Structure 1
Amino acid sequence: MDAELQRWRDAGQYFDYLGFDIFYRCEGQGPHLLLIHGYPFNTFDWQPLWSRLTARFTVIAPDMIGMGFSAKPKAYGYSVHDHADVHEALLAHLGVQTVHVLAHDLGDSVGQELLARQVWSEHAYGAPRIESVTWLNGGMFNESYTPRLLQKLMSATPLGDILGPLQGSRVSRRLLEPTIREMFGPDTQPTPHMMELFHQILECNDGKAVLHKVGRFIEDRYRHRNRWVRAMREARVPMRLIDGALDPNSGAHMARRYSEVIPDADVVMLDRIGHWPQLEDPDAVWRHFTDHIDRVTAPE
């Protein structure tokens, strides 16, 4: 494993979630901030922001089950609701009662489910109160979400089960890399080193064998769309969307839909950025995120 990834892993710890080891990092001081990473990587997505976040917040960042350094069981029903359970269980484990949330990609869906649980008091573990939400690029409205062809084939057809055993091969790398590069902006493409780190994260604990199963969260987005959107419209929680406009999955078109659906929508566009704003332009994300937090927490 790359030394940088190994240091990230060594700085974390594990908690038991129904018999599975879930990796997380909890560092810093100040108000609690829950980071909810996206698909298909892990908490390392937050590395460019980590030192700044932990200087201001007590940051809690788990790897979702099936991803990163957490357990990746093959016989498992991965779902957004279960991911939300994991995050609630971790907050209960740490005794955390209030949090700000910064979410990305699949993490947006998990954040939507956590928000819905708050609105209708349907918590699985404890009753954590969300004080603010900052969304990064994600498929919050499935009617505007446009996943890449490889993702649709692997997660929504039998092809994923057929090719699952081959996911660690060189062939899979060659198939995956163009899809990843397509998701970044033209001026912020991943370096060869970053791409190698991506593969190592995916291959940890034979993770590529379950990648397509984890990716079936797309089905949850259709099934629970109205519940989640209603929660976003009814929750009295300050929200901001920071959106990389050039993301082919959930870029400017998703931001437009957000503005149409969410009353008094607070949207910040990053014009030359793709799907991973926190990796592509961490300075802009930090600036717009902390501006949102400052307005939320300012004395009345």
Structure 2
Amino acid sequence: MDAELERWKTTGRHFDYLGFDVFYRVEGSGPALLLIHGYPFSSWDWSLIWPTLVQRFTVIAPDMIGMGFSDKPTVYEYSVSDHADMHEALLLHLGVDSCHVLAHDLGDSVGQELLARYEAGDNAYGAPVIESITWLNGGLFNEAYTPRLLQKLMSRTPLGDMTSRFQGSGLARRVVDRTLDQMFGANTKPTPRQLEQFHQILDFNDGRRVSHAVGRFVADRYRHRNRWVRAMRETAVPMRLIDGPSDPNSGRHMARRYSEVIPNADVVMLADDIAHWPQIEAPEDVLRHFFAHVNRVAAV
């Protein structure tokens, strides 16, 4: 395993979630900050901004079931609701009763579910106060989300089940590399080492066998769209969207929809060449805009 990934793994912790082993990292002091990663990777997505965040916050970052260094059961109903349950259970396990949230990709959907529960008072584990939410690129509004063809085929058709046993092949790796290349900006493409790290994360615990099943969370975006959006429109929780505009899935067009739907929308657009992974492609800019958001919340 890559040395940096190994250090990330060995400095993490584990907790039991309904009989499954969930990996998480917690570090720092101060107010709690929950980081909710995207699909199909892990808490490692936050590694470039982690050292700065832990100087101000107690940063909590789990790997969701089916991803990263957590268990990856083949017989499991992966859903946004279950991912939200796990995050609530972890906060309860750590004794956290309030937190800020920074979410990306699938993490946006999990954050939307947590916000809807917070507004309705129907949490599964405890009732943590959400101090603020910062969204990064993700499918906040399914009507504006434009996934790649491979994502559609793997998550919405039987192709994922049919090809899961072959996902470790050289051809499959090249397909993943090409998809990742499309998701990064023109000037921020992942290095060969980053690509290898991504593959090692996917391969851990034979994760490629379940990646397509985890990806079926997209159906939840349709099922819960109105409930999630209603919570976003009615909440008093301060929210900010930091968006990489050249993301083909959820870039400028998603930010435009956010401004149309959310009252008094707080939207920050990054440089034109930043795409789907702002925390990897433009970590300093993400930190600057995130801190400006939480500083304003703290001042109020």
**TM-score scaled by length of structure 1:** 0.99
Letter in 2 for 1:213: A
1:291 maps to which residue?
A: 292
Equivalent position SS for 2:40: coil
Identity of aligned residues (%): 70
How far residue 211 of structure 1 moved from its aligned partner, in angstroms, is: 0.3
How far residue 237 of structure 1 moved from its aligned partner, in angstroms, is: 0.2
Counterparts in 2 of 1:53-202, with a 5 A limit? 53-202=53-202
Equivalent position SS for 2:16: strand
How far residue 170 of structure 1 moved from its aligned partner, in angstroms, is: 1.1
2:249 maps to which residue?
A: 249
2:204 maps to which residue?
A: 204
Letter in 2 for 1:267: V
**Aligned: 1:276 with 2:277:** yes
- In structure 1, distance between residues paired with 2:26 and 2:190: 27
Equivalent position SS for 2:207: helix
- In structure 2, distance between residues paired with 1:214 and 1:53: 28
How far residue 169 of structure 1 moved from its aligned partner, in angstroms, is: 1.3
Structure 1 residue ranges without an equivalent (≥5): none
When the two structures are aligned, how many residues end up with a matched partner? 299
- In structure 2, distance between residues paired with 1:149 and 1:294: 40
How far residue 120 of structure 1 moved from its aligned partner, in angstroms, is: 0.3
- In structure 1, distance between residues paired with 2:234 and 2:71: 35
Equivalent position SS for 1:220: helix
- In structure 1, distance between residues paired with 2:159 and 2:206: 18
How far residue 3 of structure 1 moved from its aligned partner, in angstroms, is: 0.8
How far residue 175 of structure 1 moved from its aligned partner, in angstroms, is: 1.1
- In structure 2, distance between residues paired with 1:97 and 1:142: 31
- In structure 2, distance between residues paired with 1:43 and 1:66: 13
Structure 2 residue ranges without an equivalent (≥5): none
Structure 1 runs (4+) greater than 6 angstroms displaced: none
How far residue 38 of structure 1 moved from its aligned partner, in angstroms, is: 0.2
Cα deviation, 1:79-135, whole Å, max 9, x if unaligned, reads 000000000000000010000000000000000000000000010000001000000
- In structure 2, distance between residues paired with 1:163 and 1:248: 25
Letter in 1 for 2:147: P
Equivalent position SS for 2:48: helix
- In structure 2, distance between residues paired with 1:272 and 1:122: 40
Letter in 1 for 2:249: N
Counterparts in 2 of 1:16-31, with a 5 A limit? 16-31=16-31
C-alpha RMSD of the superposition = 0.5
